Amino acid sequence: MHELKYSGYTVASISESCGYQSVLSGVPLGTIQKIFSGETESPRYDTLQALEQLFSEKSTVCEEASYQADRNGSYTLDDYYALPDEQRVELIDGYFYDMSAPTFHHQSIGGEIYRQIANYILEHKGSCRPFIAPVDVQLDCDNKTMVQPDVGIICDPSKIKKFGIYGAPDFLVEVISPSTKRKDYTLKLSKYMNAGVREYWILDYAQRKLLVYFFESESCPVIYGLDQPVPVGIYHGELTIDFSNILKWIEEDLV
């Protein structure tokens, strides 16, 4: 139970998704909130099993874990910059999280989304700037968090620094993989929402679905299939992302 409660899940991330986890797991939202707040210290075994099933892959995978060390929770940007260049991690609230090198297919998907965003902005002479990982984002403007979202849009030029981005981008996309699924659905959802990100997409290409959180108008996620263009909320739907190429790659077993 300790591992489940303190793996980065928060009551805010559960509540703000309007019971999405509750719908998927079959566990009542009130029960989930009590578990993650600590009010319920000994939930039923079948409840724990349902939640674990939600946040784990059907196959056995090596779960991504923050570094196991006495300093967990106290790492800073000094420690982040002191790491070898070849060691890819994210720093979140003083914890290091390993990041495996992205696969060709992962980068192809992120690149296709980035391409469409960049083309739209260039064609419409927009002032916002798209970016693609790896770009350092000092999300909370402190020395305890540095993330590398897969794709993003930044509209405030004052946030663009030589090292990367200082503050919350306007729009972010995470293309999930087995090793990042738990973090992208829960920990990063809460972090991005609280930092002031306006819109957050979670693309699960293995399940052929996209979760869209547009925090400015709705806290509930909208779930899309990949067989239709998806509107970008910060552009009032004038920019849409076409997933036909990505869906074709999936169907051809190229991702």
**Structural domain includes residue 42:** yes
For residue 40, the enclosing domain spans 2-54
Contact call for residues 62 and 31 (beta carbons, < 8 A):
no
Residue-level pLDDT at 104: 87
Domain membership of residue 83 (yes or no) is: no
In a shared domain, residues 136 and 227: yes
My answer on whether 115 and 235 are in the same domain is yes
At 240 the pLDDT is: 98
Residue 74 lies in a domain: no
Per the structure, the count of domains in the chain is 2
- The pLDDT of residue 109 is 96
The model's pTM is: 0.74
More confident residue, 9 or 100: 100
Q: Do 229 and 112 reside in the same domain of the chain? A: yes
Fill in the DSSP letter of residue 172.
E
Look at residue 36 in the predicted model and tell me its pLDDT: 54
Is position 92 within any domain?
Answer: no
Encode pLDDT of 65-106 as tens digits.
445 455 678 899 999 999 998 888 999 999 999 888 888 889
Model confidence band, residue 167 (pLDDT cutoffs 50, 70, 90): very high
Percent of the chain exceeding pLDDT 90 equals 56
**Using CA atoms, how far apart are residues 159 and 179, in angstroms rounded to an integer?**
29
pLDDT higher at 130 or 64 = 130
Task: Tally Cβ neighbours within 10 Å of residue 104.
Answer: 9
Q: In b/e form, how buried is each residue of 22-34, taking b as 16+ CB within 10 angstroms?
A: beebebebebbbe
For range 110-137, the mean pLDDT = 97
Q: Would the pLDDT of 170 be above 80?
A: yes
* DSSP one-letter string for 69-119: STTTT---HHHHHHS-TT--EEEETTEEEE-PPPPHHHHHHHHHHHHHHHH
Give the H or E element holding residue 175: strand 171-175
- Most confident range, picked from 17-26, 79-88, 125-134: 125-134
Are 197 and 116 in the same domain? yes
Backbone Cα Rg of the chain: 18
Mean pLDDT of 208-215: 94
Over the chain, what is the mean pLDDT?
Answer: 81
Residue 223: inside a domain:
yes
Pair (130, 218) in one structural domain? yes
* Mean pLDDT of the region 143-148: 97
Together in a domain, 39 and 160: no
Same domain, 127 and 222: yes
Residue 130 main-chain phi, psi, to 5 deg: -85, 155
Q: Residue 63: inside a domain, yes or no?
A: no
Q: Are residues 113 and 195 in the same domain?
A: yes
Domain boundary among 30, 54, 78: 54
In a domain, 98, yes or no: no
What is the pLDDT, as a whole number, of residue 49? Answer: 60
- The pLDDT, as a whole number, for residue 42 is 61
Q: Give domain status of residue 151, yes or no.
A: yes
